Chains A and B, each alone.
Chain A
Amino acid sequence: MTTGNPSYTNPKPCKHLADYKLNHGLSGYKSLQKHLKTAPHGKTSVGKPNTKTPRCISCDGFQDIERAELYCCVCCDQVYDPDFDKAVISKHIMGITGDKNGDESIGKRLVKRRRLSSGVVEELVDSKISKQLISMRDRRAKSCYPLGLRGLNNLGNTCFMNSVLQALLHAPPFRNYFLSGGHNHETCRKRSVGRLCLPCDIDVVFSAAFSGDRAPYSPAQFLYSWWQHSANQASYEQKDAHEFFISVLDGIHEKEVKSTQSRNQNRDNGDCQCIAHGVFSGLLRSDVTCMTCGFTSTTFDPCVDISLDLDTNNFPSKNTATKSIKPDANSSMSTLLGCLDLFTRQEKLGSDSKLYCQNCHERRDSAKQMSIKRLPLVLCLHIKRFEHSPVTKMSRKIDRYLQFPLSLDMTPYLSSSVVRNRFGNRIFAFETGESDISAEFEIFAVVTHAGTLESGHYVNFLRLRNQWYKCDDAWINEVDEGMVRASQCYMMFYVQKSLYQKANEDWSCLPISPRRNMFGQ
């Protein structure tokens, strides 16, 4: 089974179906197509044929009329054929858009094909410079602990900042960029004397964290700069880790865009090459379907993270009809996969929010479905633990435990999977132009929150070379995986599996004793 583009195995057609197609071609499918009835919600059935369809006679199979599936009487099994599925889907398309051609994928909108998204970052990820920098680091560093592991002093309720900084310090592509001189604060300051530059301050933090000095560092200058930057927004008083994260990425983007790109026009389609977007930005797809005619309108929006509602009702996964049943252990536990299922579930919009359908030319009941068109290198998942009641105007925090995996396969949430599933998983290329980014991720940082909305504490757990570390402001301690699993997660940082494995290889500790030498010398 390949990773990356969600492929399904094209099953070998049963011999009998293959024989039929050799003898009769696709004419049977075409005549059957006339009788197909498609429904707006994606299901297909066969209307009552007026005459005997030729297939009943000449082939050994017949139709499941209610579901438009092929059944081979000789094999005594349901069989699948890409050509048949294509005929089914073409009927859908013809029905919706009146397009007689019917060969284009549904709802496809030409999206400017983004060059391999890791293009910008790839060079720096592989850079040898970063390795050389490490060899020059202070060898007095307490050995056998990962580089860059350093406590951050709490400057007065700044754990929201510290926890996110730790995640950024150890996000492989982000870290490599800064350590290999992607934004050198010494050379940059010369160009912009006295002007606020958040990437410079981040570079300073990186230098400090990876200097080899293990005494806790005070990110005071960074705080000062960030406060000045966020004073420009309305939210300088935000003490929320997620808001801080968004704000920092925004600050980097602002500065990097000005200095490296002359135009700002890439903003809209998410092709921004600044390091913040290069690492964290993905693309979301939103489909709004008219429940009357089935016409679907699709929009794409870039995002630097995904905010998820808790799946408090534990919806069954839509991609597996066979859900493992462990009623006591799992039936009431919220899981990250459950939240992602909820996020990509087709949601009927209320009758009070009918949307205008371009096909019907009036407002109709609609359904909306989100999916991920393109995954980022580093995926930040944010859990909305905030509940706001419009009635009482009160807000409260949801402490409910959320189970999350250490290895995450995002395939079921990709647009190709979600859209295909909406049409009954027919063998058809629904999505084109998806990048080659793999869908397998490994977690490397978890920001947890304990306490209430008004007063609480953030702690970050880092996973470096498969060892977990608890970063509680100035205090760094080794912890076991169980403690992380049992924690109350608020933001989870996943990185593409290949980058995670590479990071583990490259960044072995500096040994005092001649054990392992990471440069292979």
Chain B
Amino acid sequence: MASHAQLSSHFFGDLLDSIIVDVASECHRIARLGLDRNLEEEEEELKLSAQARERVTDPNNSGEANSKYVVDIFGQTHPPIASDVFECMNCHRPIMAGRFAPHLEKCMGKGRKARFKGTRSSTAAQNRHSRGSPVSTYPPYPNSTSTNQLSNGTSGVAGEEYSNGTFPEP
């Protein structure tokens, strides 16, 4: 009579075999029917990306990614705040390009509302992006009240001066 240990070992072996054959059978079918993805190309892409990342994080690198620009490819330079001047289409006053957006905000009467992300309908956003909801998660023409956003620019800045988008270190 087989001992308990032998029996359990036997059952375990059967289970393990079954699992292995499951995977093998699946792979075999995929390979035989030509369904496997082009692994060489994928690996190549992964390799190239990994190499690129290494180069970027290499301290010996000149940090070209974030250094200040000298000239662009057309040989031009540009000031930190765009200096073109044109007429505001709302009030017709001459406005400097780099300050146009904050001007327009006031000019159109929207004012400088404080960021109030918390009160936006975050549940709507969750439902919209959640994969668990039974209804479609992709409304055809979403009118977004989502908080799933990455804002740019600083928040809560009051007054006339509007700081340009910051360039933080990544």
Is B140 part of the contact surface with A, judged by Cβ < 8 Å?
Answer: yes
Q: Chain A residues near B43 (CB, 8 Å)?
A: 324
Of listed A66, A155, A477, residue having the most chain B CB within 10 A: A155
Which residue of B73, B99, B145 contacts A477 across the interface (Cβ within 8 Å)? B73
Which residue of B131, B140, B168 contacts A450 across the interface (Cβ within 8 Å)? B168
Is A181 part of the contact surface with B, judged by Cβ < 8 Å?
Answer: no
Contact (A475, B165) CB under 8 Å given A220-B89, A335-B46:
no
Is A34 part of the contact surface with B, judged by Cβ < 8 Å?
Answer: no
Closest beta carbon of chain A to B64's beta carbon, Å: 8
Q: Chain A residues near B25 (CB, 8 Å)?
A: 64, 67, 69, 78
CB within 8 Å of B: which of A130-186? Answer: 142, 145, 151, 153-160
17 contacts across the A-B interface (CB closer than 8 A)? A9-B34, A78-B29, A142-B74, A239-B149, A239-B151, A243-B149, A301-B138, A302-B140, A321-B26, A370-B131, A425-B33, A450-B168, A454-B151, A455-B152, A455-B165, A455-B168, A485-B48
Which residue of A399, A476, A488 contacts B73 across the interface (Cβ within 8 Å)? A476
CB within 8 Å of A: which of B120-144? Answer: 122, 125-126, 129, 131-132, 134, 136-144
For the complex, give the distance between the alpha carbons of A238 and B125 in Å.
14
Q: Is the CB of B73 within 8 A of A223?
A: no
Interface string of A324-338 (1 = CB under 8 A from B): 101001100101010
Is A317 part of the contact surface with B, judged by Cβ < 8 Å?
Answer: yes
Interface string of A190-232 (1 = CB under 8 A from B): 0000000000000000000000001110101101100110010
Is A368 part of the contact surface with B, judged by Cβ < 8 Å?
Answer: yes
The range of chain A's interface size is 35 or more
Closest to B123 in A: A390
Q: Is the CB of B18 within 8 A of A66?
A: yes
Is B92 part of the contact surface with A, judged by Cβ < 8 Å?
Answer: no
For the complex, give the distance between the alpha carbons of A447 and B35 in Å.
32
19 further contact pairs, Cβ within 8 A, besides A216-B78, A309-B129, A403-B49: A64-B21, A153-B84, A156-B98, A156-B103, A160-B151, A240-B150, A240-B151, A302-B138, A303-B138, A326-B46, A329-B50, A333-B50, A384-B129, A388-B122, A449-B152, A451-B170, A455-B153, A476-B72, A486-B53
In the A-B complex, list the 5 residue pairs whose CB atoms are closest, starting with the nearest: A157-B153, A240-B149, A156-B101, A482-B52, A153-B82
Closest beta carbon of chain B to A181's beta carbon, Å: 25
Is B118 part of the contact surface with A, judged by Cβ < 8 Å?
Answer: yes
For the complex, give the distance between the alpha carbons of A243 and B89 in Å.
25
Which residue of B21, B141, B147 contacts A267 across the interface (Cβ within 8 Å)? B141
For the complex, give the distance between the alpha carbons of A288 and B131 in Å.
11
Contact (A485, B37) CB under 8 Å given A301-B136, A395-B147:
no
Interface string of B11-46 (1 = CB under 8 A from A): 000000010011101111110111111110111011
For the complex, give the distance between the alpha carbons of A349 and B135 in Å.
13
Q: Chain A residues near B38 (CB, 8 Å)?
A: 409
Closest to A307 in B: B129
Is B113 part of the contact surface with A, judged by Cβ < 8 Å?
Answer: yes
Of listed B23, B82, B108, B125, residue having the most chain A CB within 10 A: B82
Residues on B lying within 8 angstroms of A by beta carbon are: 18, 21-23, 25-30, 32-39, 41-43, 45-53, 55-56, 64-65, 69, 72-76, 78, 81-82, 84, 86, 89-90, 97-104, 108, 110, 113, 115, 117-118, 122, 125-126, 129, 131-132, 134, 136-155, 162, 164-168, 170
Q: Chain A residues near B22 (CB, 8 Å)?
A: 66-67
For the complex, give the distance between the alpha carbons of A233 and B103 in Å.
21
For the complex, give the distance between the alpha carbons of A158 and B81 in Å.
12
Closest beta carbon of chain B to A361's beta carbon, Å: 17
Q: Is the CB of A223 within 8 A of B45?
A: no
For the complex, give the distance between the alpha carbons of A235 and B132 in Å.
25
Closest beta carbon of chain A to B6's beta carbon, Å: 23
Q: Is the CB of B52 within 8 A of A483?
A: yes
For the complex, give the distance between the alpha carbons of A349 and B130 in Å.
11
Closest to A288 in B: B134
For the complex, give the distance between the alpha carbons of A353 and B41 in Å.
40
Contact (A475, B72) CB under 8 Å given A64-B25, A456-B151:
yes
CB within 8 Å of B: which of A381-396? Answer: 384-386, 388, 390, 393, 395
Q: Is the CB of B132 within 8 A of A319?
A: no
Q: Is the CB of A483 within 8 A of B154?
A: no
Closest to B167 in A: A457
Of listed A145, A355, A411, A457, residue having the most chain B CB within 10 A: A457
Q: Chain B residues near A417 (CB, 8 Å)?
A: 35
For the complex, give the distance between the alpha carbons of A235 and B145 in Å.
6
Q: Is the CB of A457 within 8 A of B152?
A: yes
CB within 8 Å of B: which of A283-325? Answer: 284, 286, 288, 299, 301-303, 307, 309, 317, 319-322, 324
For the complex, give the distance between the alpha carbons of A424 and B165 in Å.
51
Q: Is the CB of B166 within 8 A of A267?
A: no
Contact (A486, B56) CB under 8 Å given A218-B84, A368-B132, A456-B152:
yes
Q: Is the CB of A337 within 8 A of B42?
A: yes
Q: Chain B residues near A484 (CB, 8 Å)?
A: 52
Closest beta carbon of chain B to A238's beta carbon, Å: 6
Q: Chain A residues near B152 (CB, 8 Å)?
A: 157, 159-160, 239, 449, 451, 455-458
